[in-house]
């Protein structure tokens, strides 16, 4: 079955100690832990501030995410190395 | 804003925009990393044993940072008047507080390093290139040129500081590192605010791009020369400088200024 036809995997988010946003939003973010850090299917790197954004569901092209650390809205697009975030100036 | 169980990423854009530009959001954000850190670092961190040359280089670098933060404080406060709407004015009020704190913790760090008269030392050691950047930035702010001043301050200056502070934090002594990491956390918001506000404006008024390109052309040499001077003092290898330059340029490239 193609990725698009398959139901999205859901994720329970936990607090990873990201202290730059109010407590109730901390679970949506984590820091990038160096070059060996692999992003999970529900995670995206913010191109503006380099924070990892987390979602409760597996990400797909066209999704929208918010980076609260830098006040930015992102659109998920397919890039050469996987999913990437493009800033939406809305 | 969002209630329990509501997915943050499912919020309507206007709700997100309103919330992240509020004082309430700012307070909840800074509380997490400033509480228990008077002057930007935990009190129990021990001062390392610097050689005289190492201490002298660090004092010069911190003097550069102090001048950068002074202009950011003057710039952010001055921009409130010309900001086009309430959320931007409120955000700039929070940024002004952030910049004031940055200046205070950096001056305090100079005092911890034994600098008896930090103000005089900043005046004596600060980069002349940064001083020229400050003159130009404040001219744009005083002229009420919202887009150009915001571009100079929240994109060019903040992106350069973000890249340099990141690099410095990697090799700094534990106290300076903690001070810098606290500043970097604030600067994520400042960078994002500038890029998003200008991105929206450029989408509505593409003709603005040429004017901002001219501002970039005028200010880039000053910021890049100062950038290079600071990286030399930090002993940053040439290969790494290219990477830092790319980080700085990425923000302006996203706005369409290659």
Q: Where are the domains of chain B?
A: 13-21+50-254
Q: Is B20 on the interface with A (CB under 8 A)?
A: yes
Provide the terminal-to-terminal Cα distance of chain A, rounded to the nearest Å: 35
Q: Does A56 touch chain B (CB under 8 A)?
A: yes
Place of tokens 């002298």: B56
**Residue B227 above 90 pLDDT?**
no
Task: Inspect the interface and report whether the beta carbons of A70 and B13 lie closer than 8 Å.
Answer: no
Residue A38: predicted pLDDT: 93
Instruction: Chain A: give the shortest CA distance to residue B250, in Å.
Output: 8
* Residue B5 scores a pLDDT above 80: no
Task: Spell out the domain ranges in chain A.
Answer: 23-87
Contact B7 A56 (CB under 8 A): yes
Tokens representing residue B34 in the block: 């400033």
Is the per-residue pLDDT at A1 higher than 70? no
A90–B13 C-beta distance less than 8 A: yes
What confidence score (pLDDT) does residue B134 get?
95
Angle at B90 between CA B89 and CA B91, to 5 degrees: 90
**Domain A23-87 -> CATH class:** mainly beta
DSSP 8-class letter at A80: T
Nearest CB to B191: which of A21, A48, A89? Answer: A48
Band (A70; pLDDT cuts 50, 70, 90) = very high
- How deeply is B53 buried, as exposed, middle or buried, from its count of CB atoms within 10 A (0-12, 13-18, 19+)? exposed
pLDDT digits (tens, 9 = 90+) for B49-95: 999 999 999 999 999 999 999 999 999 999 999 999 999 999 999 99
Residue B169, classified by CB atoms within 10 Å of its CB into exposed (0-12), middle (13-18) or buried (19+), is middle
How high is the mean pLDDT of chain B? 92
B8 and A22 within 8 Å at the Cβ level: the answer is no
- Contact predicate B255/B199, CB 8 Å: yes
pLDDT per residue as tens digits for the range B145-179: 999 999 999 999 999 899 899 999 999 999 999 99
* pLDDT per residue as tens digits for the range B128-145: 999 999 999 999 999 999
Interface probe, candidates A70, A73, A74, A84, chain B, greatest B C-beta count within 10 A: A70
Query: Does the pLDDT value for residue A69 go beyond 60?
Result: yes
pTM for the full model?
0.93
CA distance B76 to chain A (A): 17
**Helix, strand, or coil here: A48?**
coil
CA distance A1 to chain B (A): 27
* ipTM of the shown complex: 0.91
**Residue B169 CA: distances (Å) to CA of A17, A60, B177, B241, B254:** 19, 35, 5, 15, 25
Look up the CATH superfamily of B13-21+50-254: Ferritin, core subunit, four-helix bundle (1.20.1260.10)
Burial (0-12, 13-18, 19+ Cβ within 10 Å), A62: exposed
Confidence of residue B4 (pLDDT cuts 50, 70, 90): low
* A21 with B29: Cβ contact below 8 A: yes
Mean pLDDT value of segment A25-47:
94
Strands of A64-67's sheet in order across: A64-67, A72-79, A82-87
């Amino acid at each position: 079955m193609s990725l698009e036809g398959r139901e999205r995997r859901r994720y329970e988010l936990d607090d990873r100690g990201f202290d730059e946003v109010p407590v109730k939003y901390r679970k949506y973010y984590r820091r990038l832990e160096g070059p060996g850090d692999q992003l999970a299917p529900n995670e995206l790197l913010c191109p503006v501030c380099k924070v990892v954004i987390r979602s409760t569901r597996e990400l797909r092209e066209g999704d929208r995410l918010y980076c609260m650390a830098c006040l930015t809205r992102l659109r998920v697009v397919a890039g050469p190395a996987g999913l990437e975030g493009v800033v939406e100036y809305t | 804003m969002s209630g329990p169980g509501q997915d943050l990423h499912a919020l309507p854009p206007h709700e997100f925009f309103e919330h992240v530009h509020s004082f309430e959001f700012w307070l909840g954000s800074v509380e997490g990393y400033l509480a228990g850190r008077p002057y930007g670092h935990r009190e129990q961190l021990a001062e390392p044993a610097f050689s005289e040359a190492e201490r002298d280089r660090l004092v010069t670098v911190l003097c550069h940072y102090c001048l950068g933060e002074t202009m950011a404080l003057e710039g952010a406060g001055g921009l409130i008047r010309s900001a086009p709407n309430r959320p931007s004015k409120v955000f700039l009020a929070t940024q002004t507080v952030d910049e004031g704190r940055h200046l205070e913790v950096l001056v305090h760090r100079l005092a911890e390093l034994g600098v008896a008269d930090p103000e005089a030392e900043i005046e004596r050691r600060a980069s002349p290139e940064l001083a020229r950047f400050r003159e130009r930035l404040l001219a744009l702010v005083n002229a009420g040129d919202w887009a150009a001043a915001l571009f100079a301050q929240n994109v060019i200056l903040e992106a350069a500081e973000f890249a340099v502070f990141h690099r410095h934090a990697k090799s700094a002594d534990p106290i300076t590192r903690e001070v810098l990491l606290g500043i970097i956390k604030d600067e994520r918001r400042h960078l994002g605010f500038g890029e998003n506000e200008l991105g929206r404006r450029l989408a509505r008024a593409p003709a603005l791009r040429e004017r901002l390109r001219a501002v970039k052309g005028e200010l880039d040499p000053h910021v890049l020369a100062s950038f290079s001077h600071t990286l030399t003092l930090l002993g940053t290898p040439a290969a790494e400088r290219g990477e830092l330059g790319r980080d700085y340029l990425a923000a302006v490239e996203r706005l369409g200024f290659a």
